[in-house]
Structure 1
């Protein structure tokens, strides 16, 4: 079974009881992964922002 995180309600939903796709993040393989969706997204965004800053600070080598 797959799970979804509903960004409007803050609840984890399963395939049988999921909301409209525009309210969901996922799919996730576990209820726990879905419950931590926002934290993981925040972690990824911070990591990617840091990588972008590092890339940009090096400048173009062209």
Structure 2
């Protein structure tokens, strides 16, 4: 992904709930970049899934 220009990536705008091609809105409202529109569209689900996984891993670590 690092070799691809940013205009060819997608972002999810958390304020509008829309997918943007290229960085169109403020960084404060963007999640990404993603390689595909579908990945950007599922940004919130991906973030929630990863957060849940990290919480499970933290709980296991804390339990020893």
TM superposition score normalised by structure 1: 0.88
Runs of 5+ in structure 1 lacking a partner?
none
The equivalent position to 1:3 in structure 2, one of 7, 10, 19, is 10
TM superposition score normalised by structure 2: 0.86
Segments ≥4 residues shifted beyond 4 Å: none
Aligned length: 57
Rg larger for: 1
1:42 CA drift (Å): 0.2
Report the secondary structure of 1:27's partner residue. Answer: strand
The two structures, once aligned, show a CA RMSD in angstroms of: 0.9
Report the secondary structure of 1:56's partner residue. Answer: helix
Runs of 5+ in structure 2 lacking a partner?
1-7
